Structure 1
Amino acid sequence: MKISVHRSRRAAVAVALGSVLALTATACGDDGSGSGGDKGSDGSGKGKIVFWDNNGGVRTDIWKEVIADFEKQNPDIEVEYVGIASTEYQSKVDTAIQGGGLPDVGGVGAAMLAGFAAQNVLEPLDDRVGKSSLNGKLNEDMVKVLKASGGGDGTLYSVPTSANNGVLYYRTDLFKAAGLEAPTTWDKFFAAAEKLTDAGKNKFGYTIRGGKGSIAQALDAMYGQSGITSFWNGDKTTVNDPKNVAALEKYAALYKKVTPAADLNNDFTKMVAQWDSGTIGMLNHNLGSYQDHVKALGVEKFRGIPQPAGADGKRVQVSNPVDGLGLFKSSKNKDAAWKFIEFATSKAENSKFNESAGQVPANNDAAKDAWISKAEPTKLAAQALTDGSTTIVQLPYYLPDWNTISKSDNEPNFQKVLLGKTSAKDFLDTLADQLNKAQAEWKKQQKS
C-alpha cells in the first residue's frame, strides 16, 4: 500500500541578500523582520517578560525554580511562565508568528531552529553572548550544532541549555528474574523483548513509541541495527537503504507482539508513565526521563545504558537535538529577556536545571559538577560519545522542513506501518522522497 503524502507547510521562499543567506517568511511582513514586521526594541531592561517553555509539564517545576531565583536577583523584572507541551510547541509558535503574540523568550531546540530562523523571527545572539558572562563558558560542540541548525548562515539564534542522548532503560529486577544479560547488543535486545513478554499476564518486553515523536526513535532503531553511518549519500538520503528497510521491518514487528497495544498512540509522557508503573522490560527514550524513573522505581530496579551495539561492537546512534533558549525579535524588552537567558544558562542555574532534567549541561563549569558522575545514564552517555565506540548519524536539523517532515507529515504514516496497513519500504520511500526534495530546495537557496 502506498502512503498518501501530506505536503509540509513550507516556510516562505528564501532569498539571498549579497553573500549572506537571509531567509524570510512572506507572511511576516515586507521588511522581513518577522511577526508582522515588528522588530521590537531593547526596552528598559526592567518590567515584565514572557517565557514559553517548550517542554511544559515535564520541566515546569524546575523552570519555576529558575524563575524564582532570577526574580529574587532581579526584583525589577517579572517573568511570566507559559508551559507548552513539546508536541504542541512548534504549532503554537507558528500560529503566533502568523497572528502575533510571540513571547520574549522561548525554548528553541535544534530540531525546530531552522524553521523559526527561516521566518526571521529570532534575534541573532552572537554579539550578546560575546559581551556577556557566558563568553567562553558554553560547550563549543553544542554551540556548533545550534549554529549549523539555524539554516546555513552560521548565526547563533539560540543559547544552548543542554544536550540529550538516546538511552535504553531496562528493568534490572525483571532481567535478573529471567536470567537475562543486559541488552547491550541488538541481538540481546530482541531476545530479551521476547522472553520477558507474557501478554496474558500483561507483561511485555518492550514499549514502542507509536504516537507523537515516534520518527526520531524509529530512525535511531533503524540506523542502530543497519550500521549505516551517514544520513546522506551525496544528495540522496540513506533512510530507504535496503538495510534500513530491513531494520525498520524488524523494529515495527515488535508492536503488539512484545509491546502493549496502547503503544500505537503513546507519546513519550504516556510511554514513560506506562513503563514506570508497569512490568515492561525495556524502554527507549533519552536522558530526560531519568529522574522520572528514579522517583517511580528507585535506583535498584533499573539501569539506563547507551543504545545497543551491533554484533561487531560498534554503536550507531542518530543525533539527539541540543536544546536552547531563543530571543524573539518582536520582544519589546530584549535587554530584560537577555538577562533571563544569561542567568538561566549560568553555572549554578544550568547545573540545577540539568540535574533535574538528567541532561548534559551546556555551561562548561556546570558540566564539572559532582552530580553528573552520580547519574549513571548521563555518565555512560558521555563516555559512549568519547570512547570511540559510537558513531553519530547527524540528522538534517538545518532543513527548514525537517521538523514538519519528521513529525506531522509522517507520524500518522508510521502508525500505518505498525498496524500492517503499509510496508516499511513504502513508508521509507515516501520519507526519502520528501527529504531529497527538501535537501535540493535548501541547496538551491544556498546558491541563489
Structure 2
Amino acid sequence: MHKKLWKTVATTSIAASLLLAGCSSSTNNEASVKGKKTDPNEKIKLTFWDENAGPQRTPIWEELIKRFEEKNPNIDVEYVGLPKDSAKAKYDASIAAEDTPDVGSVQTSWLPEFALRDALLPLDPYFNKWEDKDKINKGAIDFNKEIVADHKLYGIPYTQNLDILWVRPDWFKEKGTKVPETWDDFFTAVKNQTDKANKRYGYTIRGGAGGSFQLQRLMFAYSGEEDYIKNGKSTINSKKNIEFLKKYFGLYKKYTPQSDITNGYKEMIAGFDTGAVAMVQHNIGSYGEHKEALQSDQFQAIPLPKTADGKYVAEGGNTIGISVFKGTKHAEASWKFAAFLNSKDSQSYWNQQVGQIPTNSDVLSEQWIKDSPHIQTAFKVYDDPNTILYKPPFYLPEYRSILDTIVDPGTQAVLSGKMTVEEFLDEWSKAIEDAQKKYDEHFKK
C-alpha cells in the first residue's frame, strides 16, 4: 500500500549521500547511552516540548501524556508548548544554555544541526531492540540517519505531511470557476475568486515568519526541478523560479490581502477559515483548524498544480519526529515515552486529530484513513509514478538559518518593492552555495 509514500522520506541528493558516507562529526563523537535504568518504584519527572503548540494541538498532546502517565504511574511528564514560529529559537537557546528538555517534537530539518551541536541522544540502541521498529516507515528512518553526519538515528518520525491547496469548493461552484489542476488554472482562479466589494480575496500569501518552506515548495512544484543543488550550484535562481515568483508575488494586494506581507501561519489560516480568502497553500496538517471552523462542504484539499509537463512535485523528508535530548538524566524513561508516542494507538490518535499521515504501518489500514479525503489526496500525489520528489539540503547545518534569516525577510523585501525577484533569488542561491562549499571543505578533509 502506498509504496511511493513509504519511500518519499528516503530521498536525499546523491552528492550528499556520498559526502556523508564514512564521515563523522567532529563535535558529535561516539556517545554511550546516558541515564540510569528506570526503577518502577522511582518517581521520575520528564519535560516534553511541543514545537507547534496551540489550541488545536496542545490538547492532543495533553491527552497522550495522560494516557502515558496512567500506564506509567511513576513517570510524570511536564508539557511545554512552543509557538511554531519561535520554536526553533527556543530550542537553540536551550541547547546553548545546556538546559534542554528530556524529550521533544523535532522537525526533520533541525536534526543535522542539533546532532552537530551534540544535543541529541542517539536512539539506535533503543530502536534496534524495540518490538515495533519494523512498523515505522523505513524510508523515514533511513532518511533521518542519512541527513546527519554520523548516520545515527536522532528522531523517530511520528507523522508525515504534504503541502497542498485548501480551497472553498462552494465559492468555486457559485462562480463556475475550475478547481486548479495546472498553474494557469491556479492564477486564473485567484483572479476570478477575488471580489473586493464583498471583501473576498482569491488567495493569501504567507509573507511572515515560516513562509520560506511553503514558498520553496511552490517554486519546485512549478519548476519541476528535482535537484536543489547541481554540481555545487543552487537551482533556486533558475529561470523557471524567477518566472514563477514574478507571477506569484504579482498577486499581492491586487488579489490577496495587504496584511499578507506580515501574516504568519495563524493569520493565513484564519483568513481562509473566516471566509476572507478562497484558497490557501499549506499542508494537510491544518485539517483540524478547517474542520472546527467550516462545514465539510466548505473546504477541500487539492494537490499543488502539476508542472507544465504534467507532473506533481513534492518535498522528500517532510516529517516530524520524537527526539531524546542528550542532557536527560532519565534516558530509559525518555525512550519509553518516545516509543509510546510512536505506538499504533498514539500515532492514530494524533494524526487523526491533526489530519496528517502516520508513519506506523498498522495505522494505515484503519477506517479513518480511508474516510479522509485530504489523506487520500496525499496518497494520490505520493502514489503517482510520475511524481518528482525534490531533495532539500537538510544536511547543511546552515540550511534552516538561511530560510529564517534570508528567505523570510527577502520575501517581505520583494513584496514591499525594496528588492527584485532576481536579487532575492540570487541572494538565496549564494547563501546555499556558500553553505555547500563550507560543508564540502569540512567533510572532504
TM-score by structure 2 length?
Answer: 0.91
* Map of 1:93 onto structure 2: 91
* Map of 1:362 onto structure 2: 359
Contact 1:189 1:308 in 2 (8 A): yes
* 1:320-331 paired onto structure 2 within 5 Å: 321-331=318-328
* Among 195, 198, 201, the residue aligned to 1:201: 198
Q: Match of 1:202, as an amino acid?
A: K
* Among 373, 376, 381, the residue aligned to 1:376: 373
Q: Match of 1:21, as an amino acid?
A: S
* Map of 2:338 onto structure 1: 341
* Map of 1:317 onto structure 2: 314
* Map of 2:109 onto structure 1: 111
Structure 2 residue 210 is matched with structure 1 residue 216: no
> Separation in 2 of the partners of 1:23 and 1:53?
29
Q: Match of 1:148, as an amino acid?
A: E
Q: Match of 1:390, as an amino acid?
A: T
* Among 39, 60, 63, the residue aligned to 1:62: 60
* Among 125, 134, 157, the residue aligned to 1:136: 134
> Separation in 2 of the partners of 1:224 and 1:314?
8
* Map of 1:41 onto structure 2: 35
* Among 171, 175, 179, the residue aligned to 1:174: 171
Q: Match of 1:260, as an amino acid?
A: P
CA positional deviation for 1:320: 5.8
CA positional deviation for 1:250: 1.0
Contact 1:39 1:330 in 2 (8 A): no
Which one is further off, 343-352 or 305-314? 305-314
* Map of 2:12 onto structure 1: none
CA positional deviation for 1:39: 8.6
Residue by residue over 1:222-281, the C-alpha shift from the partner in whole angstroms, topping out at 9 and shown as x without a partner, is: 222222222122221100011111111111111111101111111112211121012311
> Separation in 2 of the partners of 1:254 and 1:49?
47
Structure 2 residue 24 is matched with structure 1 residue 21: yes
CA positional deviation for 1:408: 2.6
* Map of 1:351 onto structure 2: 348
Residue by residue over 1:132-186, the C-alpha shift from the partner in whole angstroms, topping out at 9 and shown as x without a partner, is: 1222111011112212232x32211001111100111100010001101111211
* Map of 1:73 onto structure 2: 71
Contact 2:166 2:279 in 1 (8 A): yes
Q: Match of 1:298, as an amino acid?
A: Q
* Map of 2:122 onto structure 1: 124
> Separation in 1 of the partners of 2:430 and 2:132?
41
CA positional deviation for 1:48: 0.6
CA positional deviation for 1:32: 9.8
Contact 1:215 1:407 in 2 (8 A): yes
Residue by residue over 1:343-386, the C-alpha shift from the partner in whole angstroms, topping out at 9 and shown as x without a partner, is: 01000111111111111101111222111111111111112111
Percent identity reads 36
Contact 2:52 2:84 in 1 (8 A): yes
Matched position secondary structure for 2:281: strand
Contact 2:51 2:81 in 1 (8 A): yes
CA positional deviation for 1:19: 5.1
Matched position secondary structure for 1:169: strand
Contact 2:163 2:283 in 1 (8 A): yes
> Separation in 2 of the partners of 1:279 and 1:270?
11
Residue by residue over 1:65-88, the C-alpha shift from the partner in whole angstroms, topping out at 9 and shown as x without a partner, is: 110110011111000000001211
Structure 1: unaligned runs, 5 residues or longer: 1-15, 26-30
> Separation in 2 of the partners of 1:220 and 1:56?
23
> Separation in 2 of the partners of 1:422 and 1:166?
27
C-alpha RMSD over aligned residues = 2.0
> Separation in 2 of the partners of 1:421 and 1:318?
30
> Separation in 1 of the partners of 2:370 and 2:336?
30
> Separation in 1 of the partners of 2:72 and 2:258?
50
Structure 2 residue 244 is matched with structure 1 residue 241: no
Contact 1:133 1:342 in 2 (8 A): no
CA positional deviation for 1:319: 3.7
Residue by residue over 1:104-128, the C-alpha shift from the partner in whole angstroms, topping out at 9 and shown as x without a partner, is: 0011121111111110110111121
Q: Match of 1:146, as an amino acid?
A: N
* Map of 1:303 onto structure 2: 300
> Separation in 1 of the partners of 2:115 and 2:210?
22
TM-score by structure 1 length?
Answer: 0.90
Residue by residue over 1:397-427, the C-alpha shift from the partner in whole angstroms, topping out at 9 and shown as x without a partner, is: 1111111101133211110111121111101
Q: Match of 1:370, as an amino acid?
A: Q
Structure 2: unaligned runs, 5 residues or longer: 1-18
Matched position secondary structure for 1:211: coil
Number of equivalent positions: 422
Matched position secondary structure for 2:47: strand
Segments ≥4 residues shifted beyond 4 Å: none
Contact 1:146 1:322 in 2 (8 A): no
Question: Alpha carbons of 1:19 and 1:290: their partners in 2 closer, same or farther (altered >3 Å)?
Answer: closer
Q: Match of 1:22, as an amino acid?
A: S
CA positional deviation for 1:200: 3.3
* Among 433, 436, 441, the residue aligned to 2:433: 436
> Separation in 2 of the partners of 1:122 and 1:253?
43
Question: Alpha carbons of 1:300 and 1:19: their partners in 2 closer, same or farther (altered >3 Å)?
Answer: closer
